[in-house]
Amino acid sequence: MKLAVLGSGKGSNLQSILDAVRDGRLTAELVCVLSDHADAYILERARAAGVPAEFVDCAPFKTKLEGPGEQRMIERLRHYGADFVALAGFMRIVKPGLLRAFPDRIVNIHPSLLPAFPGLHAWQQALFYGVRHTGCTVHYVDAGTDTGPIIAQRVVPIFDDDTPETLHARIQEQEHQAYPRALQAIAEGRLRRSGRRVLGLRE
């Protein structure tokens, strides 16, 4: 697997992927990390690990990856020889151009038990809704928002004294385990599809 990671923020999931590659738990080559924010900490984490890291201008849009920005992203992914893309806090909706360039080869991690609480600030949505458990989901990316076939999920309890911050931190602990494991299952070719169901992941 020649893996590219796309992110917009602090990159803690990227760090879990870097650590898993270093420790041999993920047999992938991390070929590049690309961000739509020039000052995103995810780029610094990549550079510190010796992975090529670039800002990709995704203008003129702010919340989607479409048009010239999408073309630039595809060009950089091809330049680095990526054959699989992991979104890790990439704050744009992916559009059909990128999906066609990497069919069934783009995954994402989302901080809730999908299909509950898609979209932004999912941990906050779960807390304010009042559910007693939430979690994280690794899923294939399709043309919807957080709607693709589910690969892996981890459950996280919600406590009475949780704040959005404490809950997000507890979810992220699970994300950092779930994402590298799901990627390794894909890298080993262990997963198969039956309709929407993704089979073959042993937790």
Q: Site residues (CB under 6 A) for ligand GRF?
A: 7, 9-13, 88-89, 109-111, 136, 172, 175
**Residue 40 Cβ vs ligand GRF, minimum distance, rounded to whole Å:** 8
Nearer to ligand GRF, 169 or 199 (CB): 169
Sign of CA dihedral 201, 103, 115, 13: positive
Taking Cα atoms as reference points, which of 3, 11, 88 lies closest to residue 45?
11
User: Which residues touch 51 (CB under 8 Å, ≥6 apart)?
Assistant: 18, 30, 31, 32, 33
Q: Is 168 a catalytic residue?
A: no
Nearer to ligand GRF, 188 or 203 (CB): 203
Nearer to ligand GRF, 122 or 185 (CB): 122
CA distances from 128 to 111, 116, 175 (A): 15, 13, 21
The CA distance from 62 to 143, in Å, is 17
CA distances from 71 to 36, 91, 180 (A): 13, 17, 28
Q: How far apart are the first and last CA of the chain?
A: 21
Nearer to ligand GRF, 71 or 124 (CB): 124
Catalytic site residue from 37, 79, 110, 133? 110
Contact 36, 91 (CB under 8 A): yes
**Residue 113 Cβ vs ligand GRF, minimum distance, rounded to whole Å:** 12
Nearer to ligand GRF, 39 or 189 (CB): 39
The CA distance from 149 to 139, in Å, is 6
**Residue 87 Cβ vs ligand GRF, minimum distance, rounded to whole Å:** 7
**Residue 154 Cβ vs ligand GRF, minimum distance, rounded to whole Å:** 11
Q: Which residue type sits at 73?
A: M
Q: Which residue is nearest to ligand GRF (CB)?
A: 89
Tokens 């999908």 locate to 114
**Residue 183 Cβ vs ligand GRF, minimum distance, rounded to whole Å:** 14
Q: Which residues does the annotation mark as catalytic?
A: 110
